[in-house]
Structure formats: structure tokens, C-alpha cells
Amino acid sequence: MVIYLDVLLLSNLWVNYLLLRATAQWTHRRMKTRRAILAAMLGAGFSLLIFLPPQHPVICLAIRFLTAFCMVTAAFGRLKIPELFRQTIWFCILSFLFCGVVYAVNSYLIPIGLQTTNSVMYMDISLLVLLFAAFAAALAASFSAHRRDLPAVGEIRLHLRIDGMDFCLEALADTGNGLRDGFSGRPVVVCAEQDLARWISRFGNAADAASHCKGFRMLTASTVTGTKLLPVFQPEWISVRYSSRRQSEQSVDAMVAITSEQTPAIVPACCLR
């Protein structure tokens, strides 16, 4: 089979970009378009391995995972190593699913001239067909991620332990809450000042109270009312419990921010999987 370099690079660029987008949707991670494009270009560069002599499958698998790890690092920015590996695994799962669908189509539906060498896939089909097929697959992954049911307000109870004091708050699952602590990378749960008044009253205000806790810092947050500085800290214990599900209480590795607005506790969707 004749392999055209422009088709190889452009098709891999497009597919990698959509797979990265699908990974971000599935894991509820924000990703800048510029970083996604650069990461996709990096992955497209690795597709040149198809021109090398066939390598041992173990070597190909290691190279494939290393490529995915580099792409995820470039796409999602500075994350903790465990989180980078988690994002890489999800990216690999979606990539394997995409390759499986392409292989099934080539074997049982429409021969598309599939060539695989060194874990790099090349399809001798129209770029337009490939773009639409990859776009449809990314939309399906994104739709599947959004279809996962999230509990409504009143179905989640947030349990906190701060300075030896226990709090049980009504919580709301929010896919739009993308707040993360810039130092630890942990997601941030937003709690209303009035719900923690029992503890805050011992210090005078929310910032002073939070300053006595581990990991205290001020975090910039954008809301519908503007940009605010919220005190953030790490509680002694934080967990969620679902009133409509038969399951044990689930601990959450997150930080807590305090807002003066009257709202239920806002829990990022990534804390509820």
C-alpha cells in the first residue's frame, strides 16, 4: 500500500484532536483549544513511526502509551502525576475504542484499505469521510459523558469536618464548576458562608477562619456576578452521600472554598464518579 504523508499527518491530527476533546468531556476537564491542537500535532508527529521497520509488540505498546502520556501532558497542562496517568488511561481507552470501530468497519462493512504498523493506523480513504466519521465518534463519546446521570439538589449530602466540628450540607452537582486549586490540582467544593457560620463565628470572618486550616490560600473565581477572591482550605474530612442510592459514603479528595452567596454546596461532577 502507498502511504501518503499528507493524509497520514492530517488524519492523525484530526483524530487525535477529537479524541483529546472526548477525553476532556468524559473526565470533565477543561482544556484550551490551543493546547489541544499542539498536543494533536505532537501525536501526528509520532505517526511517522509507521515508516520504521516493524517493532516488537511490547515496544509498540510502550511507545503508544508514552505518546499518549506526552499528548495528555501537553493538552491538559500541569497536573499531578496520578491525574496525568488517569487522563492518559482514559485517552487510551477512547483511542482503542475508535480503532476497534474502524477495524470492524474495515472487516465486516466497507473495506477501507487499513494498514497498521508499529501501532500506527493508516486508512486509505477520503479525508472528508474520515473527518466526518471521527467527528461523529467524538460526538457520541461527548453525548455519553453528558448522559451519565448526576444527582439533583437534595439528593446529595456533603459531610465536612473542620476543626473537630461536623457539618452536613445540602449539595448540588455542577458540571460547570471547574475550580481547581492551582497548587495541589484538587477540585474545589464551594460552600456558603451561612452553612459554616457555627465555625466561622469563632474567628470573625471566613478568611480568618480558613487561615487557621491546612492549605489556606485565596482563589480567584469567576461567577455570574463577577470575579471574586474566595478563601480556600483543606478540611479534616470531606465526603458525599446519595439519598437515592444504596451505597456507602464516598470520601472526596477536594478543597473547600467559602462564598458569601446563599447557595447549596456546589460539588464538581468529577467528585461524584
Q: How does pLDDT run across 168-192, given as a tens digit for each residue?
A: 988 887 766 677 887 877 889 999 9
Same domain, 195 and 125: no
User: Which one of 147, 164, 187 terminates a domain?
Assistant: 147
For residues 109 and 166, membership in a common domain is answered with: no
The verdict on 140 and 162 lying in the same domain is no
Question: What is the residue range of 265's domain?
Answer: 156-271
Same domain, 202 and 141: no
* 3-state class (DSSP) for residue 266: strand
Q: What pLDDT shows up at residue 13?
A: 85
Assess whether 13 and 39 both reside in one domain: yes
Q: What is the mean pLDDT of the segment spanning 24-50? A: 83
Query: What are the Cα distances from residue 125, in Å, to 72, 139, 152?
Result: 27, 21, 45
Is there a contact between 169 and 158 (Cβ–Cβ < 8 Å)?
Answer: yes
Kindly state whether residues 136 and 248 are assigned to the same domain. no
Please say which residue of 147, 180, 209 terminates a domain: 147
User: For all residues of the chain together, what is the average pLDDT?
Assistant: 79
pLDDT of the residue at 95: 83
pLDDT over 80 (residue 163):
yes
pTM for this predicted structure: 0.51
Tell me: do 182 and 257 sit in the same domain: yes
Sign of the C-alpha dihedral computed for residues 100, 104, 105 and 111 taken in this order: positive
Most confident of 52-61, 105-114, 209-218: 209-218
User: Mean pLDDT across the stretch 82-92?
Assistant: 86
Quote the pLDDT of residue 195: 92
- The total number of structural domains in the chain stands at 2
Query: For residue 234, what pLDDT is reported?
Result: 92
Looking at the fold, whether 13 and 126 belong to one and the same domain comes out as yes
Q: Which three cell numbers stand for residue 179?
A: 475550580
141 lies in the same domain as 166: no
Q: Are strands 250-251 and 156-162 parallel, antiparallel or unpaired?
A: unpaired
Q: Is there a single domain that holds both residue 132 and residue 184? A: no
Taking only the tens place, the pLDDT of each residue in 45-64 is 888 887 888 878 888 888 88
Confidence of residue 223 (pLDDT cuts 50, 70, 90): low
In this structure, are 68 and 95 located in the same domain? yes
